[in-house]
Structure 1
Amino acid sequence: MTVPAATEGTANRPAPRQNKRNKPTGVDILVLVLTIVGAIAIAFPFLLILINSFKSPADYNSTGPLSFPGSLYLDGIVNFWERVNFPEKLWNSIWISGTVAVFAVVISVLNAFAIGIGRIRGNTWVVLAFLLANLLPQEALLYPLYNMFKAVGLYNNPWSVVIIFTVIQSAFGTYLLASVFGTFPKEVLEAAALDGASRWTTLWRVIVPISRPTLSVLLIFFFIWTWNEFLIPLTFLVDNSTQTVPVAISVLQGDRLMDVTTTSASALLGVIPTLIFFLIFQRTLTRGITAGAVK
C-alpha cells in the first residue's frame, strides 16, 4: 500500500513552532512601576504649572493649587506677555541658542577632527584640557569675562553671551567627538585618500555625513542647554531689549510683585518653546542616540 504524495509531504514538514511569550518577572514589574512613578513625578510640576496658569487669583486662593480652574482665566498670560514684551525675549533666546548651537557644533567638529583623526601631538593632554574646561563653574568665569568684554566693548551685547556659550559648549562637544572620531574606521579614510580626497573633503563629505546622528544630538542639546542658562545672560545682558526668556521672568518677578497665577503663566510660556523644539526633533534625537549606541 502506497502513501499519497500529499500525505508524504505533510508528514515531512516540521511541526510549527509555538510562540511562547516570556512571562514578566517580578523584576520587570518592579522596573515598570518605578518608571511610571518617575514619569508621574517628572510630569507633575508641569501639570501643576499648566493648571494654575489658567486659574484666577481668587480661584487659586479659594481652592488651592491642586484643583482644576473653575473657568478659563487668560489674564495671567496676557499680563506677562505685555509686561516683558515676550515676543522680543523669545526671539532673543531663539537667536542666541540657535547661533550657539550651530557655532559650537562646527567648532567641535573641527577640533575633534584635528585631535581624533589628525592625531596631533599630545592629543590626550589636549582632550584632558577640554575636559577640565567643562568642570569649571560659571561663577569662576564671571569676573575675568566681565573685564574682558568691558574692555572690547561687547558688554551688554548678545554677542558676548554667544561667544561665551560657544566656547563652553564646544569644549564639551570636542571632548565627546574626539573619542568618537578616534574610533572612526581607518578603511574609510584610506579609501577616501586613494580616491584623491583632501583632508577637508574627507571631513565634510565622509566623516560629517556618517557622524550626522551624533552631531544632531549635540545640536539639540546645545540649543536646550543655552536656552536654560540664567547666570551669564543675567550678568552680561543688562538692557531689557537684549534679555532672554529666563532672565526676563526672574527680573520681572523681582521687580514687580506678581500673583501666583501670573508667575505660573510666565513659567508656562518659558517652557513651551523648548518643549515644542524637543517634540519637533524627538525622532532625530532618538535616532542619534540609537545610532551612537550601535556601532
Structure 2
Amino acid sequence: MRRGALTASLAVLALAMVAPFVIVALNAVKSKRDYTANGPFSLPEGLSLEAVADFWTRVDFGEKLFNSALISGSVAVLAVLLSVLNAYAIGIGRVRGRMWVLVVFLAANTLPQEALVYPLYYLAKATGLYDTRLAVIIIFTVIQSAFGTYLLSAVLGQFPREILDAAHIDGAGRFRALWSVVVPISRPTLSVLMIFFFIWTWNEFFLPLIFLVSNDNQTVPVVLGLLQGEKMMDATMSSAAALLGIVPAVAFFLIFQRTLTRGVTVGAIK
C-alpha cells in the first residue's frame, strides 16, 4: 500500500515537472493563427516550424550553439585535466599544508560570481582578452577546477598505495603512474565530473553576459536572456526560443546518461 502511494506521488511529481516542457514544445510547433485561436493549452492543429525557423534565423542560433558547445566542451576537458593534476599532488603526493590548501579550494567554491566580476573584468581588459571566448574558457576552467580539485582530492586520497608502489617497482615515474594507473582507474569519476562541468558551464549566464558583449561571441543562455521581453517576440517564438535552449543540454545528458549512471554506480560500489 505504501509502495503504491509512493509510486503514485512520484508519478504526479514527474508529471508536474514535465508538463511545462510539454507545453513549451507544443506552443513552439504551433502557427501564430493556431495559438491565437486555440490558446496555449490546446494541441496544435498541425506541425509548424515557422516560429523555430524565424528565431533561428533572427539570432543566428547556429553560431550561438557553436559558441556554447566550444566554451562548455573546452572548460569540461581543461577543468578535469587541471583538477586531476591538482588532486594528484594533494591527494596522493601529500603536499605540505594539504588541509589548508583544500580549505582554500573549498572557500573558492563559496565565492559568489558577483564578487569576481570586477577583478576578472580588470584582468581581462589588461590582458586584451575582454569580449573573447578564451577569457570565458579560462575563467570557468579555474572556477570549475576548484570544485573538481576538492572532490578528486578526497577520492585520490583513498587510492590504494599498493597499486602505486607496484607501478614504481616496474619503473613508472610519477607522471607515468598518473596517466597509466590513476587516470584509467578513476575514469568513471572523471567522466561524471566532465559531464557536470559541461552542463554547468552551458547553463552559465551572468559571467558570459558581462564578458561576451559582441553578438558574434554570445552563448545560448545569454541570447535567450537578452531577447526576453522584446516586443518582436510573440508567444510561439518565445516558446521556440525556450525549446531550442533546452534541447541541446537535454540531448547531451541523454547521450551520456549511461556514462553518468556507470560512474555513480562504480563510485557507490567502491
TM-score, normalised via structure 2 length = 0.96
Cα offset, 1:209, TM superposition:
0.2
Which residue pairs with 1:267 in the alignment? 242
Tell me which of 117, 120, 143 is aligned to 1:168. 143
Tell me which of 187, 190, 201 is aligned to 1:215. 190
Tell me which of 36, 51, 60 is aligned to 1:61. 36
Which residue pairs with 2:171 in the alignment? 196
Which residue pairs with 1:283 in the alignment? 258
Q: Tell me, what secondary structure is at the counterpart of 2:228?
A: helix
Percent identity, aligned pairs only, is 60
Distance across 2 between alignment mates of 1:54 and 1:61 = 13
Are 2:58 and 1:78 equivalent residues in the alignment? no
Report Cα offsets for 1:77-103 as digits up to 9, x if no partner.
011010111111111010000000000
Which residue pairs with 1:111 in the alignment? 86
Aligned pairs for 1:112-131 (under 5 A) are 112-131=87-106
Tell me which of 149, 153, 156 is aligned to 2:128. 153
Question: What is the one-letter code of the residue matched to 1:62?
Answer: A
Distance across 2 between alignment mates of 1:99 and 1:255 = 32
Unmatched segments (≥5 aa) in structure 1: 1-25
Distance across 2 between alignment mates of 1:161 and 1:30 = 47
Distance across 2 between alignment mates of 1:117 and 1:150 = 38
Change (3 A) 1:146 1:197: same
Q: Tell me, what secondary structure is at the counterpart of 1:249?
A: helix
Distance across 2 between alignment mates of 1:99 and 1:234 = 18
Cα offset, 1:41, TM superposition:
2.0
Distance across 2 between alignment mates of 1:127 and 1:28 = 43
Distance across 2 between alignment mates of 1:254 and 1:240 = 18
Are 2:21 and 1:46 equivalent residues in the alignment? yes
Cα offset, 1:255, TM superposition:
5.0
Are 2:160 and 1:185 equivalent residues in the alignment? yes
Question: What is the one-letter code of the residue matched to 2:122?
Answer: N
211-220 vs 67-76, which moves further:
67-76
Distance across 2 between alignment mates of 1:273 and 1:227 = 9
Aligned pairs for 1:221-240 (under 5 A) are 221-240=196-215
Distance across 1 between alignment mates of 2:263 and 2:64 = 30
Report Cα offsets for 1:179-198 as digits up to 9, x if no partner.
00001111111111111111
88-97 vs 189-198, which moves further:
189-198
Question: What is the one-letter code of the residue matched to 2:143?
Answer: I
Cα offset, 1:148, TM superposition:
1.2
CA contact (8 A) 1:55 1:72 kept: yes
Distance across 1 between alignment mates of 2:16 and 2:103 = 37
Question: What is the one-letter code of the residue matched to 2:261?
Answer: T
Cα offset, 1:62, TM superposition:
3.0
Are 2:190 and 1:243 equivalent residues in the alignment? no
Question: What is the one-letter code of the residue matched to 2:156?
Answer: F
Which residue pairs with 1:32 in the alignment? 7
Aligned pairs for 1:136-151 (under 5 A) are 136-151=111-126
Which residue pairs with 1:18 in the alignment? none
255-264 vs 272-281, which moves further:
255-264
Question: What is the one-letter code of the residue matched to 1:197?
Answer: A
